[in-house]
Structure 1
């Protein structure tokens, strides 16, 4: 009887063995012989390369270009998180030379081109942008230069390659976004990015299913000690809200939208209010024909804007509002009625922090099992699932 060798085992059996091993053991197994390496390069092994977290530095991006060359396993990449660090000194970021930023964009674009042209899964990526710091709690009111740099590197690379994007998370999903948080994009940076051309971005975002975006005022040069105000005119602010709508309209197949506003303690000039009420512009200009999931946090809008937005998306399945401030006179009664009468597919509902000039909406008739409450939040909200999400919501001003 002939002895059985590892090389002689059927590929199906080697695949079963690989599925039981951790990553280091799989690597060791693949180094035994070329035959075993070939037989063990299966879906289980490739899953270790489907997600990658990459710092925006020349060295890491050069490696990214290498591992996305023909035949390399980096071509199986499907989820890419790109990040940078905020300097440990509060409010300070490393000074970057424009030529360095251009180099980073070019390197990232090379890797994206490799995935676009050679990826076996069709080249569609999910991209997430993050900023990391050693002590986030101590970085309150930091400027937004770090997010600016990372955003422009990525948008430039997408614009030059037209790499198709499955989802794009711009500093939103990974953070709690409490008051004075430190990770959001300066509003005017969207205008700057789109001013460089939208043809490539339109190609990239045409099939985007999910967009997450955390925004705030552009505070570069703002001095909290002397209370120097934002150097922003109303026309500039108006252009910023137009640019946000232009960005959203580049994504005609959106199924999920996540918007966050990070407030700063600044005087409410006409320009500042124009940016704060960006949601009204979205409701007026943007169309979301197949939107199914919507997450809103710390949003300010008029009652008219809120109703106009939600009347356009009757196919909504999931809705989370964690902080919404009605600007001017207005009430939430019509919104609560709309959710129970015009959203036949709604399956998950989360509401908290609904504030108008009259006060904060409370839910006195909601059973305790549906309460949405945290120690840091003064008022509880509601969380419902299934048919219960479509049951009329009873709210009153506390």
Structure 2
């Protein structure tokens, strides 16, 4: 699981944007941009992925972006200096470095970040050598390589060899896409004298690996344009743009524009959506010079909208099962208003715990049963018979008579 922290946007405004998306795509995409900018002035923790998306956009609110950049710098320095608590993960530090490069920030101002990321990547590679999987996952591993590459930091041969896809490895679409972006960056990297940064042999191996991965992505594009689900599609389209497959990118872009209402009301999801709608990828960060930027984005241009009353009747049925699929507790919760699954869990009086991620609160323990990273277990959320929820517990809103299963599962 990638680290993710929730920054909610006004639900009703996103609802209205979704209704207008097909009618006026350009204006609505710009409105989505404004909504993402609004999330940066909240009191919630800073999210480097949000800053990256804002920097890749053609219009800016430079004052707001500078304030957010300062918040990100302070936040990362605190994370790297903290003697207690969990250290930041590979993927999180990588996102910070990409955000700083997107603002043309010198690496010397965050001097601890690059050595820290290099150390984490070595730990990822050592774990890969011993256990056939990285310490976190291939998505974070690839994101770490990409962040160093975009910042023109040369990457060790051993780290790069970990990105070579093996026949027995079957990655998620968004993981394949992030691997493609990292490999593409390495393949195209040059020294200040315009010579290739890596040897012809290394570049050839990187190209072969990249072509295998991009082929898998292309083969998974459905007739309606999606690649996996709509969230993995947003990341996969970056990979297609990176290899100039514009036909499939355009087909996927149409699928995102036609996505269900409120699908991207989570700022983390929106931060992954905006770049591809603007025909941008994380690789474009390396080409930014931050001069002559259009400073015309204004958070006051969208009028505030009062969210209507979503009072519902009925009940939500919760069942919690252990790894052996045996029931360990159940609850029946009345829906007195439009409640999130997080609110339903609170109303159910179940003993549960969460941890904060870039995507919002992530369920870690239910009914005194804890998911364990060492055992590669997590809480899977299933609606009805077998529909896995694509949203987190704070974003998902159950409906009356819905049965939701919280299943401890292996990943």
TM-score scaled by structure 1?
Answer: 0.28
| More helix per residue | 2
Q: Which has the higher contact order (CA 8 A, sep 6+)?
A: 2
| More strand per residue | 1
TM-score scaled by structure 2?
Answer: 0.27
